[in-house]
Structure 1
Amino acid sequence: MDGIIRELIPLFEKANTRFLLEQDKLILSGVSERTLCGSLMIYLQEALKATTYSEYYVDVEYNRNNGKVKTIINENIEAIPINCDIIIHSRGENIYQDNLIALEMKKSSNRKSAKIKDKNRLIALTKDRFDDVWSFDGTSHPDHVCRYGLGVYYEINAAKKEVYTEYYLRGKLTHTEVLTF
């Protein structure tokens, strides 16, 4: 999975750079996060075309896993239903690496508790396995979603014309970045 990770960050950053350059007026207009996610989705799909992941899908608010509602396992080993703002995945077609990128978007004006919830979701989604619950066996998908190659927390501050990003790999925050647009 290390090779995948090295490819995913530049893929995301390429799409994000174009999104910020070409959609600054949309971002500043005050539209909903869902609208912004739909726009960013287009740039991510375009960036995928030029990679070995061209057969993957970019979906907004996707919430299915093998026909059931997507769930993660929280710190209390409880199944929690989820959907992500944006995901790049194979929709179950690639057993080896179904899930590439999970992105959670927030505006800076959102409540701190909502931001923390999104960050915790990204931690769970990017774990390689759920301790003693499931580990990758190469033949089946987990009941609860994990193994995303990259998690991205994406916070827009329109007043400052900034986007704050956090990158999650293997269940851990690895680095942060602030971009202006």
Structure 2
Amino acid sequence: MKKDFENLKKIFEQANEQLLNLDIDLFESQVSEQTICGALAIRLHDILKDTQYSKYYVDIEYNRNRGGKFKKMSKSIQGPGEEIIRIKTDLIVHSRGECVERDNLLALEMKKSYRPKKEKDADRSRLKCLTKDSFNHEWSFDGTEPPEHVCRYAIGIYYEIDFDKNTISIEYYRKGKYHTKDKKLIKKGTD
């Protein structure tokens, strides 16, 4: 799993560099998070197709846990106080249930810096839950059905855009915990 974390971090960093170089107009126009996620998804897909993760999908705002003969159900995590929380992550790399043994690879939450702290903290908390190995140290994976709640993403990424400072703060999560932080400068084009 650590190898997946490192590999996926490198792939993400490469896709993000392409995004910042080739799609800089999106940042100059200060478009929506969804538009930037869409452009990043294209960059990720183009890189993933030539890697060991070529059979995985890059989806935006995906909220289903299905695949093969599994029933269609909402993706969820177990929140504080045993509360079940339905999730719709901004961007994910997963097998859509086709690879039950290793369905979830990357989860990304994107926010603009002016959003309320409560929303940002909720995204960070979600990434911690999504990257846990299990919930309450229980794992129901038996090779035929996915676990009840979504977990085991190899890497979680919190991506915060600050248009005023022309920066992107990136936080990485692994195994339910904050791992490292990076900062990128948005290099605006010249007129």
Q: CA offset at residue 75 of structure 1?
A: 2.4
Determine which of 106, 113, 116 is the counterpart of 1:111: 116
Report the equivalent of 2:69.
Answer: none
Structure 1 contact 64–70 (Cα < 8 Å) conserved: yes
Structure 1 contact 8–150 (Cα < 8 Å) conserved: yes
Q: Where do residues 64-79 of structure 1 align in structure 2 (5 Å cutoff)?
A: 64-66=64-66, 67-79=72-84
Determine which of 154, 157, 161 is the counterpart of 1:152: 157
- Structure 2 distance, partners of 1:28, 1:117, is 27
Report the equivalent of 1:129.
Answer: 134
Report the equivalent of 1:175.
Answer: 180
The change in CA–CA distance for 1:132 and 1:7 in structure 2 (over 3 A counts) is closer
Give the 3-state SS of the residue equivalent to 2:126 in structure 1: helix
- Structure 1 gaps, min length 5: none
Report the equivalent of 1:165.
Answer: 170
- Structure 1 distance, partners of 2:138, 2:101, is 18
Report the equivalent of 1:24.
Answer: 24
Letter in 2 for 1:45: H
Letter in 1 for 2:96: R
Report the equivalent of 1:2.
Answer: 2
Give the 3-state SS of the residue equivalent to 1:53 in structure 2: coil
- Structure 2 distance, partners of 1:100, 1:27, is 26
Determine which of 115, 118, 142 is the counterpart of 2:147: 142
Q: CA offset at residue 30 of structure 1?
A: 1.9
Query: CA offsets per residue over residues 5-32 of structure 1, 9 Å max, x none?
Result: 1211101100001101111121121211
- Structure 2 distance, partners of 1:133, 1:74, is 15
Structure 1 contact 128–135 (Cα < 8 Å) conserved: no
Larger radius of gyration: 2
Give the 3-state SS of the residue equivalent to 2:26 in structure 1: helix
Query: CA offsets per residue over residues 22-51 of structure 1, 9 Å max, x none?
Result: 111211212111111111110010110121
- Is 1:100 aligned to residue 102 of structure 2? no
Q: CA offset at residue 86 of structure 1?
A: 0.2
- Structure 1 distance, partners of 2:150, 2:169, is 25
Q: How large is the Cα RMSD of the aligned pairs?
A: 1.2
Letter in 1 for 2:26: L
- Structure 2 distance, partners of 1:177, 1:3, is 19
Letter in 1 for 2:36: L
Paired residues, number: 181
Report the equivalent of 1:44.
Answer: 44
The change in CA–CA distance for 1:77 and 1:166 in structure 2 (over 3 A counts) is same
- Displacement over 4 Å in runs of 4+: 135-139
- Structure 2 gaps, min length 5: 67-71, 187-191
Query: CA offsets per residue over residues 89-124 of structure 1, 9 Å max, x none?
Result: 000011121000000000011111100000000000
